[in-house]
Amino acid sequence: MKKVLFVSYGGGHANIASLVYKELEKNFNYKLQVLALTVAGAVFKRNGIPYINLSEYLTLFHDKDLIIKYGEKLAEKHFNPNSGCSYEDTVAYFGFGYRELVEQYGAEEAEYIFADNGRTAFCPVSVMKTIIEYEKPDALVITCGVRSEKAAGLAANSLGIPVIRIADLPTFEENGCECVTCVMNEYAKKYAINNLNLNPKSVIITGQPVFENNLKVDSESIDKVYHQIKGNKFHKFILYLSQPGLVESDQIEKKILEISDRHQDWIFVIKLHPNQDLDENIYVTENVYKTKDIDLKALLYLCDVAITKDSTTGLEAVLIGKPLINILLSETRLDYSEYGISVKITDLEDLDKIICECVGSDSMTLKRLKNGQKNMRNHKNAAANIADVIRNEMIKNMK
């Protein structure tokens, strides 16, 4: 029986791995193993996917006590009991990563490197090689190009095991290992070839399964939310997708209140992230509704314009054909305007004007965004397509 090993960090990465896991489980007779890194375990558990934690591999290492010693020292400062990552796995993660830094650079230099870079300095290739040798997979699946996932890819390369990487966004970092990269669309493939110098034959357009899955919503949910926000009373619906930790959040919300006062026939919904605090859904004014737990998918389908900084939910809005405005008042990890799918605002005084352009059916701004949306379409049947890539890579490796 062929075996596929997934190595994944948390959040969207673990959700990608979960959907592909379920596709393989449904249609192929493979043995499937998941190594959940940091907070990924909570995601896999929620998705009903069995997994193993990094700490469970400690017995494979002759210097287990030293690894734990390193990890416990770093956990004193870095363990967060509210993160979803257990103390044992925090110790293992930091211990494995730091042990490899010491092996590569010596104790003194490792201390300086970690002080400057933190966990981003970790790339425990020898650790991952030991784990992969123990698991003996026929293929490795990763979803990003950093730290332990990168290390797993490099370790698999050294062992002659095919690596399949699933890119989570249209643009992504180079991971330094030989792999087949599954991307969401033609835009992402061109980016990989032109910006990362990847071999065109190694980049396959499969679609991104999380985006595809997230856009599935039933009409009952849409109707429920429509009535909840009293949508029948308003002509336009403007959705602001808030994010935790943004210093400019209060400033943006204040501006939304100003604009809402000038457009009484529009409903403005401020959708908070699950990690932000809000005791209950409230009407701030008659046409400004603030919520945390209302169905996000339904909000995306109902809105006329979506606004965010750099939340990946903004890309989901684009994928269902909604105009997107990204407010960049501070440094960002993701500028959707570079993809041609959003209007970038760096001055809040422009927000009202740009919203009006986005809801105007014949505006040049809207036409330009519609063209960008066509280029950014997610390829359909993503999980099944990726499963086929994994199967084909294992077949090729047998020859």
Buried (b) or exposed (e) across 34-66, using 16+ Cβ within 10 A? bbbbbbbbbbbeeeebebbbbbebbeebeeeee
Helix (H, G, I), strand (E, B) or coil at 186: helix
pLDDT score of 247: 86
Q: Are 231 and 266 in contact (CB under 8 A)?
A: no
Half-sphere exposure of 342 (CA within 13 A, CB side): 30
Q: Do 349 and 393 reside in the same domain of the chain? A: no
Q: Do 303 and 358 reside in the same domain of the chain? A: yes
If one compares 298 and 279, the residue with the highest pLDDT of the two is 298
Q: Would the pLDDT of 246 be above 90? A: no
Query: What six digits make up the tokens of 17?
Result: 């791995």
Q: Do 299 and 354 reside in the same domain of the chain? A: yes
Which pTM does this prediction carry?
Answer: 0.85
Q: What is the pLDDT of residues 346-388, one digit of tens each?
A: 999 999 999 999 988 788 998 999 999 998 999 999 999 999 9
Q: Do 193 and 300 reside in the same domain of the chain? A: no
Q: Would the pLDDT of 302 be above 90? A: yes
Q: Do 16 and 139 reside in the same domain of the chain? A: yes
Q: Do 188 and 46 reside in the same domain of the chain? A: yes
| Confidence category of residue 187, pLDDT binned at 50, 70, 90 | very high
pLDDT score of 385: 98
For the beta carbon of residue 325, count every other beta carbon within 10 angstroms: 25
Q: Would the pLDDT of 394 be above 90? A: yes
Which domain range does residue 19 map to?
3-208+380-398
| Confidence category of residue 78, pLDDT binned at 50, 70, 90 | confident
Q: Do 221 and 191 reside in the same domain of the chain? A: no
Q: Do 163 and 238 reside in the same domain of the chain? A: no
Of 126-140, 272-286, 293-307, 353-367, give the lowest mean pLDDT range: 272-286
With vertex at residue 221, the alpha carbon angle to CA 218 and CA 225, rounded to the nearest 5 degrees, is: 145
Report the 3 state secondary structure along 334-377: CCHHHHCCCEEECCHHHHHHHHHHHHCCCCHHHHHHHHHHHHCC
Average of per-residue pLDDT across 6-31: 93
Q: Would the pLDDT of 272 be above 80? A: yes
Average of per-residue pLDDT across 74-95: 88
Spatial CB neighbours of 254, under 8 Å, sequence gap ≥ 6: none
Q: Do 197 and 274 reside in the same domain of the chain? A: no
Query: What six digits make up the tokens of 376?
Result: 């950014």
- Please state the domain count of the chain: 2
Write out the DSSP string of 208-275: -HHHHHHT---HHHHHHHHHHTTGGG-SEEEEEE--TT-TTHHHHHHHHHHHHHH-TTEEEEEE--TT
If one compares 136 and 79, the residue with the highest pLDDT of the two is 136
Q: Do 221 and 174 reside in the same domain of the chain? A: no
Q: Do 50 and 161 reside in the same domain of the chain? A: yes
**CATH number for position 8:** 3.40.50.2000
Long-range contact pairs involving 67-71 (C-beta distance under 8 Å, separation at least 24): 67/92, 67/95, 67/96, 67/99, 68/92, 68/95, 69/95, 70/94, 70/95, 70/98, 70/99, 70/102, 71/95, 71/96, 71/98
Q: Would the pLDDT of 196 be above 90? A: yes
| Confidence category of residue 216, pLDDT binned at 50, 70, 90 | confident
Query: If you average pLDDT over every residue of the chain, what do you get?
Result: 92
**CATH number for position 348:** 3.40.50.12580
Q: Would the pLDDT of 399 be above 90? A: no
pLDDT score of 332: 86
Q: Do 343 and 223 reside in the same domain of the chain? A: yes
